[in-house]
Structure 1
Amino acid sequence: MEDVYIVMLVALFALAITDLVVGVSNDAVNFLNSAIGSKAVPLRTILIVASIGVAVGAIFSSGLMEVAREGIFVPGKFYFEEIMIIFMAVMIADILLLDFFNSIGLPTSTTVSIVFELLGAAVCVSLLKIYYSTGDYSTIYEYINTAKATQIILGILLSVVIAFTVGTVVQYFSRLVFTFQYEKKLKYVGAIFGGLSFTAILYFILMKGLKSIAIIPVEVLDYINNNSLVIVVVGFLIFTGISQLVITYFKVNILKLIILVGTFALALAFAGNDLVNFIGVPIAAWQSFEIWQSAYQATGVLPNELLMDGLTGKVQTPVFLLLLAGIIMVITLWFSKKAMRVTDTEVNLARQSEGSERFEPNFISRGLVRYFILAGNMVERVIPTSFSEKLSEKFRKKELVSRTKQMDAPSFDMVRASVNLVVASILISIATNLKLPLSTTYVTFMVAMGTSLADRAWDRDSAVYRVAGVINVIGGWFVTALVAFMGAATFAAIIYFGGIIAIAILVLLAVVLIVRSAVVHSRKVEEEKKLKRYNKSDIVTINEITVETSENISSVIKGINKMFTKTVDNLGYHDLNKLKKNSKAIDKLEEEIDELKGNIFYFIKSLDDDSIEASKFYILILDYLQDMVQSIGFITRTSYNHVHNNHKNLKFNQVRELKGIDVKLQSLFDDIQHIFDTHKFGNIEGVIAEKQQLLDHVSELIEKQITRIRTSETSPKNTKLYFGLLLETKDLIASTMSLLQLFREFNKEAKQTINY
């Protein structure tokens, strides 16, 4: 009997290690995004500082371990056997949930997930206990610590509002003081800003956090509590003086120091608050096992007979477990690719500049933006014009005159990064010291969104996309709570009835899904690398335009070539599933063109003054590429809809004729791709000469179909499809040849001034 629970404990700690990995991959966004987005220091330095913060912060987390034991449910109402079922269900659900969010690159809350998983599993087991005993479901409240659970949930929700509001206000006044041309201002107010930042971090991170460390003498803690005001005032004066010394004599940008210290502080606060989310449950299970083992040795009580009152109260977590967890978190921080993917999401939403937007607008984001535009217009009418102009001057951004600077520029400046880190770390530390496990993800994300709003990063051109992104992320948070509750409840029910066999199956399922997720993610990363073409920040001359355009054409031609062949083959076999995949794959081609067209503004601004004609050439090339993609999109989607609607198959002769076109097109596109891959542009003439023959062939097939209609064709839907495919193929060929002719003319002109 004892062996079964030892195996369960081993499984729980193994799951905890995995949970640490997937959890840190998601939560790295909390303390890395500001430093990475501002590009204040190299990434390696950021990771070193964050690693130290995580390792130290792991020691601060002991007090919050009580949440896993008694924060959500009443342990005295559950037997040891039931407690282990709850903990096992929670860990399996947590790993799968967090890994899913990591894979799609969205930041979610490890705190919310663990709280609702504990709640879901506990509610499930409580309902089963009631069903097999009294049947009075109104007593469910006796099993759940409703007061504490409500406090935690309300604290999490309230933290979202507070974080956004505080971030917005602090950043607004910081920007009024520093403006976007903050370099000169740092000489005068940088020291005070540094003094305030370092003092706040000292007070909330160190002074308030020391009481969580058992090895600190009581006398030291009493002295700090009794002299807090004096320590803060003296600390402010000392840090202000040091900041002024660093600025004046060492010529160091004080904002960089604030960002480094803030990264350390936020990493420390993250580990102190969130470590319970990853190892709190296994430690609580271990402590439960020790309680039962002692009772079993003394009285022989069975696992289904011992109520777990012993979990109530404060139990110190062994320091070596905290340090081990910290080491695992640090290793994950350095080697997790998914962590960088999640970080990219928040940095992208908070960036100051324009660029490619990840999220599509929705009716909520459009409505909110429209409302705030109207509200802003009303406020402008009330505020005097002179005062409004002075405020606007404070928020005037530096002009980026070239796309090279645009591509290399930080997502936001160091003033905003400093505010993000200091405000978020203080808010998280306050909650940690109040024993409230708020969501560090929610706090850091909403602080970042608040500061970006205050910085006017969301202008008319980007606001609808950014707001949509925020809505998607926040929507994901609610999904987190619902899925965590239902998932843990489901797993608890399965384990309750299935026992050790169910546990083995669920653990195996979790391992398989995690491995599969890792493989899929690696493939996705490789695909994204392949899609990254020529470095657009280097395109400033005609020669570089030619190289860039060649790669664009080759990439699109390759995609169209494969898609036409697949569509013809799958249409011939009437294969609905493959045609559906083809239809979805067209979206990627369309996104490539949209991304290229989205960069036209920066492309034109980056060109040499004598390259105006090159701008026109580039725009026309993209227009032809778009026409080609639209043609293959029509061919693919029309074929899919025909099969999806269960219309008659094309006749054998029609399929054979389409395959004949495919063979000729494949040869043509292979030649074109080879030309642009090898830059042998002299061969364009030969390809263009073949165009009329191919067009004539398509025209002959159109005439054949007309004859069929008059003699043997009986399906109007087949006729519509076949004519549509042939006519769109003609448009595809025509657009391709127009593109080649344009490139040929541009290449001839370029040769007059450039030696290849």
Structure 2
Amino acid sequence: MGDIYIYMLIILAGLAITDLVVGVSNDAVNFLNSAIGSKAISFKTIMIIASLGIALGALSSSGMMEVARKGIFNPGEFYFDEIMIVFMAVMITDVLLLDFFNSMGLPTSTTVSIVFELLGAAVCMSLLKIGESETETFLDLGKYIASDTAIEIVSGILLSVVIAFTIGALVQFLSRLMLTFNYSKRPAFLAGIFGGLSLTSLYYFILVKGLKGADLGALNFIFDYTTEVYTTLGYGFIFWLVFSLIYVYVLKWDIYKLIIILGTFGLAMAFAGNDLVNFIGVPIGAYDAYNVWSAAGSPADFAMDALAGQLPSQRWLLLLAGVVMVLTLWFSSKAQAVVKTSVDLARQDSGTERFKSNALSRYLVRYSILAAEGVQRIMPAKASAYISKRFEKAPSLGIVSKNADKPAFDYVRASVNLMVASILISLATSYKLPLSTTYVTFMVAMGTSLADKAWGTESAVYRIAGVLNVIGGWFFTAFSAFTAAAIFAYIIYWGGFYAIIGLVVLAVVLITRSFIMHKRSQTQQKVTDELQKAESNTIQGIIEESSETVATVFKRARDMYSNTLEGLITQDLGSLKSGRKATKKLAVEIDGLRNNIYFFIKNLDEKSIGASKFYIDVLGHLQDISQSLEYISRSSTDHINNNHKSLKFTQIKDLKEIIERIQKIFDDSKKIFKSKEFSGLEKIIYEKRELLQLVDSKIEKQVKRTKNTDESPKNTTLYFGLLLETRDLMNVTIQVAEQYYSEYDASRFDNEESE
């Protein structure tokens, strides 16, 4: 019998490693987003600092391990075999749930997931025990669940959202009042004061409060001198203030970079200290339970009262987990997608927004504007003018950066993000409260971005919609975690070890499938030619730069058009759906180029107005091409998806002739734009006009067929739509070619005149 539990412990160990990998991929956003978003230090340096923080923080998490084994349920009410079922169901659920969110590129709370998984599995097991009892009823459920502790944990998690957002906004508002956006021009002593306060906070709450519970062996004597809070803070502030002033005045170094470096280290350490329980707390609880059960002689019915008491910490397991977390941080590509979501929602400048607005975000923005106007009316004019002046953006140098890799926000905001989040998480860890690091860091970042007026009228609805989506994902996490863990516990209870094997195999298959799909999407992104923004300020330069984009659009348009119609002819719904995604992606990329027009025009000098008109016209034509491709793809997909009649033989024959001609024209055009030999466009323009005549002849043939034969209405509507949209597609393509040819001809004429 004991062999089964050995196998279960081995499976739990494997799940723990997997959970660490997917968990760190999800939670990397917690301690990387501020440093990455500010571009204060190189990415490699960020990773090294975060790795050191994680390694040290893993040692401080020993006290948090108690939450997994006694924080949600009363272990004394369960037998050993029942506890093992709960732990096994929790770990399988956790791995699958976190991998799902990572694949979606959304940050979710590992704390919420583990808490509600433990709650769901424990409730399920409790109800099964109640159902088998002749004396107990549903009202006895409270005997099995540690309701007071569970409610404290859940309410603390929810309350952290409000606290983190509020404190983040308040501290950022005060910091910006003191330092302004032009902080590098402010008196150096202000930077020293800000540095003193920031470093004191990081010193006390990270090193003193955060590491005090760590089992550091001989080094524990360090904390004997930090028992007096006010004394420690007072002396700490004096030391760090003097240090900051020397750093700024004498060494002439950037104190904000130092805060970001130490803040990243501290936040990574706080993350490991608080969140390690989410990944290995359950397996360690199972290991402790097995040791207690084995020491008692492995009885059949053995109550797990011992789990409610103090058990020795498994320091070697904590160190091993820290190593796995560090390796994951370096080698996980999914973490980057999750980081991008948080950075995009907090960035200072407007641009292409990831999320679409919804009714609730529009409602909140509309009434927030009204409330702000009301506050503005009652505020004294001098106070209002003073605050507005402090929040004026630093003057631009005349050139607006179009680089997508530019900093999302400045050093001051990054410093506040790291300082406030570190303090809140470390404070919770010192009280052994599993605060959601995702909730805290995300909401602090949102609060500071709001205080910094990053959510302007052009971006607020999209940013708020993004925040609502992420928060909605957290509630979905709670519901999914509770339900799935309860279901898995029920299956394992009745299916035994065979059910465990089946569920583990299912988890392996799904995670492997997710890994393969993620790798495939990465490969496709590398293979797919991305559209490039133009940066030149002359027509000749725009022709050179944008010709690459036009060549890319022609190449992708050729593939989309031919693949869509081939899929329609063969009634291949999978191919049609893939084509639909491709057309949507092209449309989004072209929209991104159009959204960049503001920055493009800002960079032009007065002599280059013609270049802006040329580029705007080009982008307008490319958008028309994408819209035609979207219509052709959508109508073809809907036709097959609704099981309408297939195309007739004569229609297929005509379409294949058109496909062949269009492929040649797009291929020739792509080569010309790629090589920038625009003299060949004259021939292409002539060929495209011939194709238009061919399409018109096919339309006339279909009209005659419709009048003389019994045609399907849906079939006829689709076919006419395809031909008409093909004609529009070719018309726009001709306009692009003619535009480039005329500008090329004019510039060649100007060159001859100058000679």
Same fold (TM over 0.5): yes
* C-alpha deviation, 1:5, in angstroms: 0.8
Query: Where do residues 549-588 of structure 1 align in structure 2 (5 Å cutoff)?
Result: 549-588=546-585
Alpha-carbon separation, structure 1, partners of 2:704 and 2:697: 11
Alpha-carbon separation, structure 2, partners of 1:651 and 1:354: 50
What's the counterpart of residue 384 of structure 2? 388
Code of the residue aligned with 2:239 in structure 1: it is I
Query: Where do residues 317-466 of structure 1 align in structure 2 (5 Å cutoff)?
Result: 317-400=313-396, 401-404=398-401, 407=404, 409-466=406-463
Q: Tell me if 1:115 matches 2:115.
A: yes
What's the counterpart of residue 106 of structure 1? 106
* C-alpha deviation, 1:223, in angstroms: 4.3
Alpha-carbon separation, structure 1, partners of 2:402 and 2:703: 58
Asked if the contact 2:198–2:419 (Cα under 8 Å) also holds between the matched residues in 1, the reply is yes
Please point out which of 589, 614, 636 is paired with 1:592: 589
Residues 539, 2 of structure 1: alpha-carbon distance in 2 compared, 3 angstrom cutoff: farther
Asked if the contact 1:533–1:551 (Cα under 8 Å) also holds between the matched residues in 2, the reply is no
Query: Where do residues 70-109 of structure 1 align in structure 2 (5 Å cutoff)?
Result: 70-109=70-109
Query: Where do residues 440-589 of structure 1 align in structure 2 (5 Å cutoff)?
Result: 440-531=437-528, 533=530, 536=533, 539-589=536-586
Q: Tell me if 1:47 matches 2:47.
A: yes
Identity of aligned residues (%): 54
* C-alpha deviation, 1:576, in angstroms: 4.3
For residue 483 of structure 1, give the secondary structure of its aligned residue in structure 2.
Answer: helix
Code of the residue aligned with 1:67 in structure 2: it is V
For residue 572 of structure 1, give the secondary structure of its aligned residue in structure 2.
Answer: helix
What's the counterpart of residue 61 of structure 2? 61
Asked if the contact 1:431–1:437 (Cα under 8 Å) also holds between the matched residues in 2, the reply is yes
What's the counterpart of residue 271 of structure 2? 270
* C-alpha deviation, 1:216, in angstroms: 6.1
Q: Tell me if 1:656 matches 2:657.
A: no
Residues 161, 3 of structure 1: alpha-carbon distance in 2 compared, 3 angstrom cutoff: same
Code of the residue aligned with 1:84 in structure 2: it is M
Residues 727, 279 of structure 1: alpha-carbon distance in 2 compared, 3 angstrom cutoff: same
Alpha-carbon separation, structure 1, partners of 2:24 and 2:405: 28
Alpha-carbon separation, structure 2, partners of 1:222 and 1:280: 28
What's the counterpart of residue 164 of structure 2? 163
Q: Tell me if 1:150 matches 2:151.
A: yes
Q: Tell me if 1:730 matches 2:727.
A: yes
* C-alpha deviation, 1:577, in angstroms: 4.7
Alpha-carbon separation, structure 1, partners of 2:213 and 2:58: 11
Query: Where do residues 203-352 of structure 1 align in structure 2 (5 Å cutoff)?
Result: 203-214=204-215, 215=217, 221=223, 223-225=225-227, 227-296=228-297, 301-302=299-300, 305-352=301-348
Alpha-carbon separation, structure 2, partners of 1:532 and 1:430: 48
Alpha-carbon separation, structure 2, partners of 1:177 and 1:89: 52
Asked if the contact 1:543–1:754 (Cα under 8 Å) also holds between the matched residues in 2, the reply is no
Residues 644, 408 of structure 1: alpha-carbon distance in 2 compared, 3 angstrom cutoff: closer
Asked if the contact 1:407–1:537 (Cα under 8 Å) also holds between the matched residues in 2, the reply is no
For structure 2, which runs of at least 5 residues remain unmatched after alignment? none
Alpha-carbon separation, structure 1, partners of 2:671 and 2:165: 53
Asked if the contact 1:38–1:413 (Cα under 8 Å) also holds between the matched residues in 2, the reply is yes
Alpha-carbon separation, structure 2, partners of 1:253 and 1:613: 43
* C-alpha deviation, 1:121, in angstroms: 0.8
Alpha-carbon separation, structure 1, partners of 2:219 and 2:527: 57
* C-alpha deviation, 1:468, in angstroms: 0.7
Alpha-carbon separation, structure 1, partners of 2:682 and 2:523: 36
* C-alpha deviation, 1:750, in angstroms: 4.1
Alpha-carbon separation, structure 2, partners of 1:692 and 1:542: 27
Alpha-carbon separation, structure 1, partners of 2:534 and 2:691: 39
Asked if the contact 1:266–1:424 (Cα under 8 Å) also holds between the matched residues in 2, the reply is yes
For residue 120 of structure 1, give the secondary structure of its aligned residue in structure 2.
Answer: helix
Code of the residue aligned with 1:38 in structure 2: it is S
* C-alpha deviation, 1:658, in angstroms: 1.4
What's the counterpart of residue 20 of structure 1? 20
Alpha-carbon separation, structure 2, partners of 1:501 and 1:558: 52
What's the counterpart of residue 189 of structure 1? 190
* C-alpha deviation, 1:606, in angstroms: 2.4
* C-alpha deviation, 1:715, in angstroms: 3.1
* C-alpha deviation, 1:751, in angstroms: 4.4
Alpha-carbon separation, structure 1, partners of 2:225 and 2:244: 27
Asked if the contact 2:59–2:315 (Cα under 8 Å) also holds between the matched residues in 1, the reply is yes
Deviation larger for 373-382 or 621-630: 373-382
Alpha-carbon separation, structure 1, partners of 2:3 and 2:98: 30
* C-alpha deviation, 1:389, in angstroms: 2.6
* C-alpha deviation, 1:697, in angstroms: 1.1
Asked if the contact 2:57–2:211 (Cα under 8 Å) also holds between the matched residues in 1, the reply is no
Code of the residue aligned with 1:151 in structure 2: it is E
Q: Deviations over 1:669-721 (max 9, x none)?
A: 11111222222222111111112211111111122122223311443333322
Alpha-carbon separation, structure 1, partners of 2:643 and 2:605: 56
Residues 728, 584 of structure 1: alpha-carbon distance in 2 compared, 3 angstrom cutoff: same
Deviation larger for 663-672 or 386-395: 386-395
* C-alpha deviation, 1:531, in angstroms: 4.4
Q: Deviations over 1:581-619 (max 9, x none)?
A: 433432112112111111111122223543221111111
Asked if the contact 1:36–1:43 (Cα under 8 Å) also holds between the matched residues in 2, the reply is yes
Alpha-carbon separation, structure 2, partners of 1:319 and 1:54: 14
For residue 212 of structure 1, give the secondary structure of its aligned residue in structure 2.
Answer: coil
For residue 404 of structure 1, give the secondary structure of its aligned residue in structure 2.
Answer: coil
* C-alpha deviation, 1:640, in angstroms: 2.8
Alpha-carbon separation, structure 2, partners of 1:576 and 1:249: 70
Query: Where do residues 704-723 of structure 1 align in structure 2 (5 Å cutoff)?
Result: 704-723=701-720
What's the counterpart of residue 202 of structure 1? 203
Code of the residue aligned with 1:372 in structure 2: it is S
Alpha-carbon separation, structure 1, partners of 2:642 and 2:336: 43
Asked if the contact 1:423–1:447 (Cα under 8 Å) also holds between the matched residues in 2, the reply is yes
Code of the residue aligned with 2:327 in structure 1: it is I
Q: TM-score, normalised by structure 2?
A: 0.96
For residue 447 of structure 1, give the secondary structure of its aligned residue in structure 2.
Answer: helix
* C-alpha deviation, 1:188, in angstroms: 2.1
For residue 398 of structure 1, give the secondary structure of its aligned residue in structure 2.
Answer: coil
For structure 1, which runs of at least 5 residues remain unmatched after alignment? none
Alpha-carbon separation, structure 1, partners of 2:59 and 2:568: 62
Code of the residue aligned with 1:213 in structure 2: it is A
For residue 611 of structure 1, give the secondary structure of its aligned residue in structure 2.
Answer: helix
Deviation larger for 275-284 or 330-339: 330-339
Aligned residues: 749
Q: TM-score, normalised by structure 1?
A: 0.96
Residues 612, 130 of structure 1: alpha-carbon distance in 2 compared, 3 angstrom cutoff: same
Residues 516, 197 of structure 1: alpha-carbon distance in 2 compared, 3 angstrom cutoff: same
Code of the residue aligned with 1:475 in structure 2: it is G
Q: Tell me if 1:627 matches 2:624.
A: yes
Deviation larger for 440-449 or 481-490: 481-490
For residue 229 of structure 1, give the secondary structure of its aligned residue in structure 2.
Answer: helix
Q: Deviations over 1:391-415 (max 9, x none)?
A: 1111111244324366453110000
What's the counterpart of residue 127 of structure 2? 127
Code of the residue aligned with 2:728 in structure 1: it is D
Asked if the contact 2:535–2:542 (Cα under 8 Å) also holds between the matched residues in 1, the reply is no
Residues 540, 250 of structure 1: alpha-carbon distance in 2 compared, 3 angstrom cutoff: farther
Code of the residue aligned with 2:82 in structure 1: it is E
